[in-house]
Structure 1
């Protein structure tokens, strides 16, 4: 595995394109292939901080869409009127709270990651718990035929 370089090509590209994080390019690659976010979509982004997936989703949904982000960390970036933010831990979130924005979502995204310990089994297990929570929320708020996209760390708890 290559050494992590915090200011690699994608870091610099994100800064040039005014995205708050390089993780936007994971979503962009998936979007190009599967077209999960459409104009007018209602998108929920779980674990949305620092906000690059919110930025990207906001661009894709256009003027008739809506994006709701949830994270326990405060966002540092300002967003337009179609983006709403709930500062809350996903384990404490009551999915019915999301219905104040829209009755159902077309897309539920989760790029959540646990605080890592450096112990592979622990980190992948924590990641799996977050994914299970994201799935539970998605089941409660995702429309039939909607898209659920979730990141999970590889490891003993979830092999590739």
Structure 2
């Protein structure tokens, strides 16, 4: 399950990892080219019917939720950061309804004032949570990934 899937890189990785035994769905407000092996859905994560659509497609709870959400960047760092963290909270609400026990999640975070608050929030839901900055990220990039293993809620 990939929330905020445009342009599709994480969805492609998920399809490769799932192989022909798993299902993959990508959701984004933007149009995303079809990715073989994935069901793409153009929708807003704040739409109240999204959880039902996800569970209907998979037929059960999912084992991984990827949240690579990013707002339309305004250039005002404070606004962009708080909007991005708000999107992660919305994604976490969906995750709480669709992720199976012991499942895993990955959240992209714009590092800033509210990052630790979100980290502490998800830390209560998983047995192990780590913040990682990919080696391929530019030094000046504020993107971090919150790697969450072993869903307990």
Query: Given the two structures, how large is their TM-score scaled by the length of structure 1?
Result: 0.68
Kindly indicate which of the two structures has a greater share of residues assigned to strand: 2
CA distance in 2, matches of 1:86, 1:79: 11
What RMSD in Å do the two structures reach over aligned CA positions? 1.5
Instruction: Kindly name which structure, 1 or 2, has the bigger radius of gyration based on alpha carbons.
Output: 1
Counterpart check, 1:66 vs 2:23: yes
Counterpart check, 1:138 vs 2:95: yes
Counterpart check, 1:101 vs 2:57: yes
Aligned to 2:65, what secondary structure does the other structure show? Answer: strand
Aligned pair count reads: 115
Segments of 5+ residues of structure 1 without an aligned counterpart are: 1-43
Segments of 5+ residues of structure 2 without an aligned counterpart are: 117-143, 145-153
Q: 1:100 to 1:140 in 2, by over 3 A?
A: same
CA distance in 2, matches of 1:71, 1:93: 15
CA distance in 2, matches of 1:119, 1:85: 31
Deviations 1:123-154 (A, max 9, x none): 11001101001100000000001001101111
Query: Given the two structures, how large is their TM-score scaled by the length of structure 2?
Result: 0.71
Q: CA deviation at 1:116?
A: 1.2
